[in-house]
Each structure stands twice: as C-alpha cells, then as structure tokens.
C-alpha cells in the first residue's frame, strides 16, 4: 500500500524546509516554511521525480502557471490533478 | 605601491586536508597518487590520480549546501575557511566593501556535468536537477566564498587552463599592490577526477598509467590531481597594523603568451615570464634559491622548462633548486599553482625544499638540481612558482622570505 499523496508531498516539502513533517500543515505557505524561490524550484523537481509527472511551473511568473503554489493544500490538489491527467 | 604579504593559507588535496598536513607530506616526500575510485573507472585506460581520499562532504556541509556545491566548490570553501581563519580577518564595513576574491579554475563543475550528461544521455532521463547550472559554472566557487565571508569587492574567476591559479594570484597581487583593496582572497581549485574528465585527458595521450616522474629520463606523462589552495593577500601596512602573522611576501609576477601552439610549450614564452617576474620584483637571477617547476612529467614540458631555466639563469641555474611537487599531489590543472605556492612558502619561510619524487634516471635535457626524492633543508630568500598552460599562456610568481 503506497503512502497517500498528502504524506508524500509533505515529506518532500518538510525535507526542503528542514522541518519535521508534523510541522508542515495543509494551510502552510512556502513563505511560512522558509522556502525561497530556489528551494521552491528544487521542491518541484523532487515532486516531478516522486510522481513521475511534469509540473507546468515557470519561476519567472509563478502566478501565470496553471499550478497553484499558494499553500501546501493547493500544491497537493494540483499534483493529484496532474497525476490523473498524465497517467 | 603597496607591499603585498600572505597572511593566510588553506588547502585540501591528495596530500592532506589542511596546510600543515600537506606540508608534512611534502617534507616526507609522500605520494598522494593512487588508484582512482569513481563510477565507470573500469572503462578508462588511465586509472591513477591524486584523488582527495577520506573525504566526507557531509561532515563539512549541510544537505542544502551539498545540493548547490560541486566538488570543486566544496574544496574551495574548505581551503578558504582555513586561510581566512588563519588570517584572523573578518569582513564588515569598508573592508568588506573593498575585499574580493579572484580564483583560478579550468573545468568548472565537471562532476556535475558528468553526472547529468550520464543521466540524460545514458539513462535516458528527461529531467535534471534545477541546480545544474549554478553548480557547474566556473565562478560558483568564487561566489560561494564571497557569500560565506561577505566579500563585496571585485570578485571573479580566471580560466587559463594549467596557469589559472597563477593568473588569478597575479591579478589579486596587482589589486593589492596598486592600492585598490587592502585584502584579496585568491588561489584556485579543480575537480576533474570523474569518468568524463579523465576520459577527455586520455584522448590527448599525455597521461601516465603508472606514476608522475618529472625530469626523470623515464618519465611517461602527467597524472591528474584535484583539490584547492586559497590564500589571503594583504597590504603589508594593513597586516602590520593588526599584528597579523606573515607567511611570505609576494614580490612580483609576470605573464606571457607564446602565441605559437595550442598545446606545445615554448622556451621563449616560459623564459619571458620568468625574466619578467624577476624584473617586476626587482630581483637578480642570483637571488633565486628555489623554483617550484611547472614540471608536469611530460616529455615536452620538462625539457622545455629546463631549457628556459638554463637560459634565464645561466651559470646560476646549476646552483638553484627546482622541484615538481606534481609528483606527489598530481596536476591540479586550474588549481595547481595554488597548491604549489605552498611549497614556495615552505621554502622561504621554513627553509625546507619539497622534493621531486619518483625520480629514477637523470635526463641530460633536464640537467638541473631537481631535489630528487628527498626534501632538503636550505635557506632560500626568493622562490618562483612557474605555470605554463595549454594555449601557451604563462604566469610566474615571485615570493620572498618576509623580513
């Protein structure tokens, strides 16, 4: 039985933020967690590797991407959608 | 013009992870060259090198730093920490705004390139880690040192193959000498010991399969090394005012270009650089007691370098000592002049001349005192450090015992 998407995303984000997964909540923002732009790009890479998906994210204009990074919950929701579309 | 002194030195290389460990190995004539250990080494025909062993990056850097630092950057930071700690300097205010860093490097993040080319070409992956570019760029090491130590003055990386570090240190000297800044961090680093790095060198057919034996008649090529050397170059008045320990004085330098051949060395180009360094430092040929040779162990370099030294020094060529420490630490390419400057500091400060190890048979075309196999005690007032790069770009530095 594989871990839920939520657990897997939180594990990736927690590692990036050097936090315990229990400190990463669904409503946390990247800024709350101390993840800067380079850290965000690295997290997205780790997510793509973990889920074998391609995330449409351009660091030049994060708001213009289809992929919502405003909170951990939004990221998880986006990944679930991508996994469904790209599987 | 300002006098320029060295107030800090740091290194990590095949002979040791610190300056004291490296100098001890040089005194003992120890060889840091051994079997290479990395992925796909069995597909190489050259399988020896001066690798940095017993190195655990996790003990020096955290996970996020390691994600951003190629091996050449890691080595540079380790050497810079040792050098700056020894100098006792901290950078803030006006000093931070003026002090910078100029480093030599030839290949950039070769391990990063190698790993990621393998991943996309061999493993067929279509995605690479986002930090590939900031890891592999040649200036990454200079930039990370500037960030760790708050160096906000002129900072950049010089790339002139095997003379990179000497060109970088010459530039740093010039900046302090001319009064642009009281302090510059300088030196260089290299880490090409990965499958693609060694495979590229194999192609040139100048590498030895068994040992680096500079100036020996049975020499059969160069052996690559890796690591970094970093120094603090400081205005003498600034160093004296704060009571800093002075390791040696940088007396002058010269650079020259052969404008002749992309790989073959030139006696004239080398001679002009050596003569130029003496003239810049206002020294006579007879003042020089020791030369740290470029001494790669190739047929072409060693005889050309010997002829250049004989030309410049005349009768005094038979009285000075010249050794190639590449026999011990290997050829660090863009970082080599920096690690070799340590042997010059040891000569003028401690009166100990590092040997040319692996020396087995005299070569009439290299008939100089190459300090064969065993270190020697001798009082030396002036030492030169030679670097003659592929592309015909030469840079020679002159060090003086500080008095």
B55 touching chain A per CB within 8 A: no
DSSP state of B374: S
Residues B261 and B153 in one domain: no
pLDDT (average), residues B210-236: 98
Mutation for testing the A interface, residue in B130, B132, B144, B147 having most A CBs under 10 Å: B130
Residues B231 and B291 in one domain: no
Phi/psi of residue B188, nearest 5 degrees: 180, 175
CATH number at residue B69: 3.40.47.10
DSSP state of B16: B
Report the complex ipTM: 0.83
| Whether residue B294 lies in the annotated active site | yes
Beta strands in B100-235 (DSSP E): 100-104, 156-158, 183-190, 227-235
Handedness of CA B118, B123, B124, B129 (dihedral sign): negative
pLDDT digits (tens, 9 = 90+) for B44-67: 999 999 999 999 999 999 988 999
Total domains present in chain B: 2
Residues B237 and B258 in one domain: no
Higher-pLDDT residue of A87 and B202 is B202
Which residues of chain B make contact with A48, given a CB cutoff of 8 A?
Answer: 127
In a domain, B247, yes or no: no
Q: With a CB-CB cutoff of 8 Å, which residues 61-100 of chain B face chain A?
A: 63-64, 67
For residue B129, pLDDT over 60 is answered with yes
| Whether residue B162 lies in the annotated active site | yes
Domain boundary among B191, B212, B241: B241
Distance CA B290, CA B353 (A): 8
* pLDDT band at residue A3 using 50, 70 and 90 as cut-offs: confident
Residues B109 and B179 in one domain: yes
Domain boundary among B218, B241, B264: B241
Residues B365 and B395 in one domain: yes
Residues B9 and B114 in one domain: yes
Residues B288 and B186 in one domain: no
Q: Which of B75, B71, B67 is nearest to B128 (CA)?
A: B67
Mean of per-residue pLDDT scores for chain B: 98
Residues B233 and B308 in one domain: no
Phi/psi of residue B100, nearest 5 degrees: -135, -165
pLDDT of residue A66: 80
Domain assignment of residue B270, given as a range: 253-400
- Please name the member of B64, B127, B131 whose beta carbon is closest to the beta carbon of A48: B127
For residue B264, pLDDT over 70 is answered with yes
pLDDT digits (tens, 9 = 90+) for A29-66: 999 999 998 999 999 999 999 999 999 888 888 777 78
* B248-257 and B393-400 strand pairing: antiparallel
pLDDT digits (tens, 9 = 90+) for B297-319: 999 999 999 999 999 999 999 99
Fold of A5-86: 1.10.1200
Q: Which of B165, B102, B105 is nearest to B136 (CA)?
A: B105
Q: Which residues have CB under 8 Å from B218's CB, separation 6+?
A: B360, B361
| Whether residue B17 lies in the annotated active site | no
Residues B259 and B229 in one domain: no
Long-range CB pairs of B280-284 (<8 Å, 24+ gap) are B280/B251, B280/B252, B280/B253, B280/B254, B280/B398, B281/B251, B281/B252, B281/B253, B281/B382, B281/B398, B281/B400, B282/B251, B282/B252, B283/B251, B283/B252, B283/B382, B283/B398, B283/B400
Give the other-Cβ count within 10 Å of A48's Cβ: 16
pLDDT (average), residues B210-217: 97
B61-98 burial code (b ≥16 CB/10 A, e <16): beeeeebebbbbbbbbbbbbbbbbebbebebeeebbeb
Domain boundary among B206, B241, B276: B241
User: Using an 8 Å Cβ cutoff, are B100 and B153 in contact?
Assistant: yes
User: Using an 8 Å Cβ cutoff, are B33 and B330 in contact?
Assistant: yes
In a domain, B67, yes or no: yes
Residues B48 and B184 in one domain: yes
Q: Which of B388, B121, B93 is nearest to B257 (CA)?
A: B388
* pLDDT band at residue A2 using 50, 70 and 90 as cut-offs: low
Residues B284 and B364 in one domain: yes
For residue B269, pLDDT over 70 is answered with yes
Q: Which of B108, B215, B230, B104 is nearest to B167 (CA)?
A: B104
Higher-pLDDT residue of A63 and A14 is A14
* pLDDT band at residue B28 using 50, 70 and 90 as cut-offs: very high
pLDDT of residue A1: 37
Give the total residue count for chain B.
403
Inter-chain residue contact A45 with B130, CB threshold 8 Å: yes
Give the 3-state secondary structure of residue B386: strand
Q: Which chain B residue has the Cα nearest residue A46?
A: B129
Considering the candidates B144, B294, B329, B344, report the single residue annotated as catalytic.
B294
With 0-12 / 13-18 / 19 or more C-beta atoms within 10 angstroms meaning exposed / middle / buried, residue B373 is middle
pLDDT (average), residues B8-34: 98
For residue B165, pLDDT over 80 is answered with yes
Rounded percentage of chain B residues whose pLDDT exceeds 90: 99
Considering the candidates B17, B167, B177, B331, report the single residue annotated as catalytic.
B331
Rounded percentage of chain B residues whose pLDDT exceeds 70: 100
Residues B272 and B380 in one domain: yes
pLDDT (average), residues B253-271: 97
pLDDT digits (tens, 9 = 90+) for B342-357: 999 999 999 999 999 9
């Amino acid at each position: 039985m594989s871990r839920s998407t939520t657990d897997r995303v939180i594990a990736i984000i927690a590692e990036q933020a050097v936090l315990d997964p229990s400190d990463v909540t669904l409503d946390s923002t990247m800024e709350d967690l101390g993840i800067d732009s380079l850290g965000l790009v690295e997290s997205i890479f780790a997510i793509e590797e973990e889920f074998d998906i391609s995330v449409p994210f351009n660091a030049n204009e994060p708001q213009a991407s289809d992929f919502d990074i405003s909170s951990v919950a939004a990221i998880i929701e986006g990944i679930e959608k991508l996994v469904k579309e790209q599987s | 013009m300002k006098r320029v002194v060295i107030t800090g030195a740091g290194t990590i290389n095949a002979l040791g992870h610190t300056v004291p460990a490296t100098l001890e190995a040089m005194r003992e004539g120890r060889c840091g060259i051994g079997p290479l250990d990395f992925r796909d080494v069995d597909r190489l025909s050259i399988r020896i090198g001066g690798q940095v062993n017993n190195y655990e990056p996790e003990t020096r850097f955290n996970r996020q730093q390691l994600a951003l630092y190629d091996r050449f950057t890691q080595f540079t930071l380790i050497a810079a920490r040792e050098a700056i700690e020894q100098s006792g300097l901290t950078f803030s205010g006006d000093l931070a705004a003026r002090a910078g860093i100029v480093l030599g490097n030839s290949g950039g993040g070769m391990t990063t390139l190698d790993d990621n080319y393998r991943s996309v070409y061999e493993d067929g992956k279509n995605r690479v880690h986002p930090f590939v570019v900031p890891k592999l760029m040649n200036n990454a090491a200079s930039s990370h040192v500037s960030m760790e130590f708050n160096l906000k003055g002129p900072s950049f990386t010089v790339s002139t193959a095997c003379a990179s570090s000497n060109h970088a240190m010459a530039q740093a000297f010039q900046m302090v000498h001319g009064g642009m800044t009281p302090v510059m961090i300088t030196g260089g680093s290299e880490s090409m010991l990965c499958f693609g790095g060694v495979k590229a060198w194999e192609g040139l057919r100048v590498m030895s399969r068994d040992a680096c034996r500079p100036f020996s008649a049975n020499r059969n090529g160069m052996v690559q090394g890796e690591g970094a050397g970093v120094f603090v170059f400081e205005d003498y008045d600034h160093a004296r005012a704060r009571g800093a320990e002075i390791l040696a004085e940088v007396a002058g330098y010269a650079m020259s270009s052969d404008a002749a051949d992309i790989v073959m060395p030139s006696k004239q180009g080398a001679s002009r650089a050596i003569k130029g360094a003496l003239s810049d430092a206002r020294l006579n040929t007879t003042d020089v007691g020791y030369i740290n040779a470029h001494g790669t162990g190739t047929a072409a370099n060693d005889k050309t370098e010997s002829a250049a030294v004989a030309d410049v020094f005349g009768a005094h060529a038979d009285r000075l000592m010249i050794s190639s420490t590449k026999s011990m630490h290997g050829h660090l390419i863009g970082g080599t002049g920096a690690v070799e400057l340590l042997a010059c500091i040891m000569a003028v400060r401690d009166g100990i001349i590092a040997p040319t190890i692996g020396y087995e048979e005299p070569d009439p075309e290299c008939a100089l005192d190459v300090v064969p196999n065993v270190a020697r005690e001798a009082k030396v007032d002036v030492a030169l450090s030679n670097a003659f790069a592929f592309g015909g770009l030469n840079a020679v530095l002159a060090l003086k015992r500080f008095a």
